[in-house]
Amino acid sequence: MRRWQRKTYLSPLLGRRRGSVYLAVLATATFVTVVGLSSVLVGRVRLRMTEGSHDAVRATFWAQSAVEVALARLDANPNWRTAYTHDVWTAGFPAGEATCRFKLVDEVDTDLANNSLHALRVYGMASVGDAVRLCSVVVQPGLPPNLLENANFENSTAGWSGVDFWGNCSVEQVTDYPHNGAACLRIYNRANQYAGPSQDVTDVIEKGVTYYAEVWVRGYSSTNDMAVGLRLDTTDGYQWFFVRQTWAGSDYTKLSGAITPTWTGTLNEAHWHIDTPNTSLQYRIDDAMLVEGDFPQTPQLFPVAGTWRCEVVATAAVPTEGEGEAAAAAQKTLK
């Protein structure tokens, strides 16, 4: 018998289908690879952005800290106005992961040393990675309040008297030869060497507290002794707490010192007073002072509300280590 044999015929379309599937698989794999690489790149970009954001936050924090470091060092150094130079950065110093520095800017006349009461802006800079931030604040020097009324005699003779148990004198405001401002106080017609200007300070004086007394005196003799301080009237009698020194005649001389009044009995009255133990000649005074504390001292620095600011700084603007050598040397002495 004749056997039939089954023959298999391959369609030419089958090869085409297999090629199409291969291309589809290859395209899919390529797409997945591209998506995967894109995800990796996006992740890296996001990581760098996150790191940069964190660096910026840390740089801002350390820039603010640099300002605080500057204020602490100024407070610790009474000669800071001559130790630092206007608008010159200190050498960089480490703080955490940052490099910090600071500078002082006298916005009044660009001279730190010529006036202890000039306000200034304190700048702090910090760099972390590529992030650089600059923070600053204006600080105003201030002194304890003067306990004397009309201490510069610009308001006539208000608060002052020449009438005294120990001897009277005449006091008048004059505009010739003031030490500061437009006027000073002339003392004349003195009954004796104890007669002098005084002001009642009974309500502001406390027992056992140290006070600083100061006055500028201009006399008419070549040399003389003068005393400034407190005269106390108590139930146990009069008690004196004075600073005495010699002053030269025709120009102003500062008479100053610290006194600590204590007394027995009950205080009736307390007067800020001047006398000249060796003469009853006339003289002038100006810029009188009575403040709590043992002076002289550097005025305290107080931040001015509303003056804080922070800025972004380009990396190229970061000072080089060579800047501020004099200030850096002063800075090292404080460490």
Split at pLDDT 50, 70, 90, the class of 246 is confident
Q: Residues 254-257: contacts with CB within 8 Å, 24+ apart?
A: 254/214, 254/215, 254/216, 254/217, 255/214, 255/215, 255/216, 255/217, 255/226, 255/228, 256/212, 256/213, 256/214, 256/215, 256/228, 256/289, 256/295, 256/296, 257/212, 257/213, 257/228, 257/229
What is the structure's pLDDT at 41?
55
What is the structure's pLDDT at 334?
36
What is the structure's pLDDT at 27?
57
End-to-end CA distance of the chain: 117
What is the structure's pLDDT at 275?
86
More confident residue, 36 or 286: 286
194-211 pLDDT, tens digit per residue, is: 899 999 999 999 999 999
What is the structure's pLDDT at 249?
64
CB 133 within 8 A of CB 58: no
pTM (global) more than 0.95: no
Residue 283 pLDDT more than 80? yes
Residue 321 pLDDT more than 80? no
Residue 8 pLDDT more than 80? no
Q: Round to whole Å and give the CA distance between 257 and 242.
A: 8
What is the structure's pLDDT at 226?
85
253-281 pLDDT, tens digit per residue, is: 888 899 999 998 999 999 999 988 778 88
What is the structure's pLDDT at 329?
46
Percent of the chain with pLDDT strictly greater than 70: 76
What's the mean pLDDT in 224-228? 84
What's the mean pLDDT in 122-126? 96
For the chain, the structural domain boundaries read: 58-141+299-333, 170-292
Split at pLDDT 50, 70, 90, the class of 32 is low
153-193 pLDDT, tens digit per residue, is: 999 999 999 998 888 999 999 999 999 899 999 999 999 98
Q: In the CATH hierarchy, which top-level class contains the domain 170-292?
A: mainly beta
Residue 138 pLDDT more than 90? yes
What is the structure's pLDDT at 244?
86
